[in-house]
Amino acid sequence: MNSEIRVLEPKNLWNKFADLNAVPRPSKKEERVIAFMKDFGESLGLAVEIDKVGNVLIRKPATSGMEDRKIVVMQSHLDMVHQKNADTDFDFDTQGIEMYVDGDWVRANGTTLGADNGLGVATIMAILESTDIIHPAIEALFTIDEETGMTGAMGLEGGWLQGDILLNLDTEEDDEIGVGCAGGIDVTAKRNYKEELVTDGKLAYTISIRGLNGGHSGMDIHKGLGNANKIMNRLLFDGFENFGLQINEVRGGSLRNAIPRESFAKIVVDMVQAEAFEFEIGELIKIIQAELSVVDPNLTIEISTTDLPVKVMELGVQEGFLKALYAAHNGVYNMSASIPDLVETSNNIAKITIKDGSIVIECLTRSSVESSKQDLVNKLRATFELVGCEVTVGGDYPGWAPNMNSSILTVLDELYQKLNGEKAHVAACHAGLECGILGQNYPDMDMISFGPTILGAHSPDERASISSVQKYWKFVREILENIPKK
């Protein structure tokens, strides 16, 4: 299946992407891809170093005539988001990504593609391997665990890099030059509950939500996409309020940085209420599907009878949970007052697990303004603590403040216009990039972010534009050839 990828142009980049995608590389399990990158660098006779957290650095000298140019750090992250459709049989820990060509797009078979940030990694690999591309001295920095905590960037120590300019290859629109990003923080609410025995005269159902687009919880949060956890809670709340529904278990979402696409619940109601319950929930399902018909036309919500469970959540805790989750903020919280159309602050209710006496709610809160981020964290904490949850925060990372006087921004801005006959969109983004963290230990490094067009990142609908990669590859080569002198 991946053979058709290897004949795409530019072949050197797509072949490196295919090689990389053959290596399983889940976040926090990067041992194999770290070894892969080490072997790759050493096979080229280049100096390879690995720091104490697992970041890989490969140094390549300047080509002839470029020795007087500033040293460039080319940076991408090795890990990828692992999402798959519920009916896809795939093991991310052992299998390579199965890719195919669909018109102008490269896609994966029922899973995330890994173009985020695999195309950036493959770009750097192609530059390192090249013998005919003009470039200054390069420090190729491959960080780990960007997607679930940015621990690679956080663990990178000052003094290791000598570069003057950092090219972060993790932006996902080919007409955009990134100059800033949001910071983020994980919010987790937990509590235990007593279980009650299911009494006689009950009927059990499963509720399954599938087919939502999902997507990147930063870049796509403003699109009004359906959140499977909020949709499920709406159904459960209605069933509880009107028919005394009781919860046995709920499983929704999988990763903090992905808008949840699927949710599954097992519930019970009184047999005498069953017919009315089925009618009511059927009508509510139609309403929800109509509300989301434009942005999530493939949403399916199914309800079916199942075996009766032994236990359910105690009603007092259940009522508090359903009300708290209804009240908990999801989506855009504030828009930026200084940058038009930029989301400033948001929250993604990413994952909910209710089973065997335990509730766990996992969120990712993002903001480009630290005080606004903390305000939303406090709002979430207050909401969940009011119903007896223990709320913890972690994984806090800073945003990247825009520098509109950046010299490398001037270079990219002029080159883009020269190559494409129009100006690039210079912007900050609501995603988390590693530039802000790296800048803490390298405050004088001039940083910029760009990349090819990737849609549907963090979902099985992730796809990379072939024509955009060709456009981007030409841009990369021009940038390296035009790096300023020291």
Do residues 391 and 222 touch, judged by C-beta distance below 8 A?
A: no
Nearest to 85, CA basis, from 290, 298, 402:
298
Q: What is the mean pLDDT of each run of 10 residues along the chain (486 residues)?
A: 91 98 95 98 98 98 98 98 91 96 97 97 98 98 93 95 98 95 96 96 97 94 97 98 97 94 98 96 98 98 97 97 98 91 96 98 95 97 98 93 92 97 94 91 96 94 97 98 97
The pLDDT assigned to 155 comes to 96
- Among 215, 21, 211, 214, smallest CA distance to 100 is for 21
pLDDT at site 432: 86
Fill in the amino acid letter for 374: Q
Distance CA 327, CA 329 (A): 6
Residue 114 DSSP one-character state: -
pLDDT of 29? 94
Active site residue 146: yes
371 is written with which tokens? 């005080």
According to the model, what pLDDT value does residue 1 have? 61
Q: Where are the domains of the chain?
A: 2-182+399-481, 185-397
> Which is catalytic among the residues 79, 170, 176, 461?
79
Residue 376: name the closest of 183, 92, 108, 123 by CA.
183
Is 79 one of the catalytic residues? yes
Angle value at C-alpha 461, between 456 and 462, nearest 5 degrees:
50
φ, ψ (nearest 5 deg) of residue 101:
-95, 130
Residue 22 neighbours by CB distance under 10 Å: 12
Looking at residue 36, its pLDDT comes to: 98
Host H or E run for residue 240: helix 228-243
- Beta strands in 212-357, from DSSP E residues, in sequence order: 215-216, 246-252, 258-259, 263-270, 300-306, 311-313, 331-335, 343-355
Sheet holding 47-50, edge to edge: 47-50, 56-60, 138-143, 72-77, 165-168, 446-449, 176-181, 425-429
Report the pLDDT value the prediction gives residue 149, as an integer from 0 to 100. 83
Catalytic residue (choose from 30, 139, 145, 146): 146
Closest residue by Cα to residue 140 from 119, 168, 116? 168
Question: Whole-structure pTM over 0.85, yes or no?
Answer: no
Query: Which pLDDT score, from 0 to 100, does residue 376 have?
Result: 98
- Domain 185-397, CATH among 3.30.70.360, 3.30.1330.90, 3.10.100.10, 3.20.20.70: 3.30.70.360
Q: Which residues contact 302 (CB under 8 A, 6 or more apart)?
A: 207, 208, 210
Nearest-angstrom CA–CA distance, 346 and 78: 26
Query: What architecture is domain 2-182+399-481?
Result: 3-Layer(aba) Sandwich (3.40)
**For 52-61, how does the pLDDT look when each residue is reduced to its tens digit (9 = 90+)?**
999 999 999 9
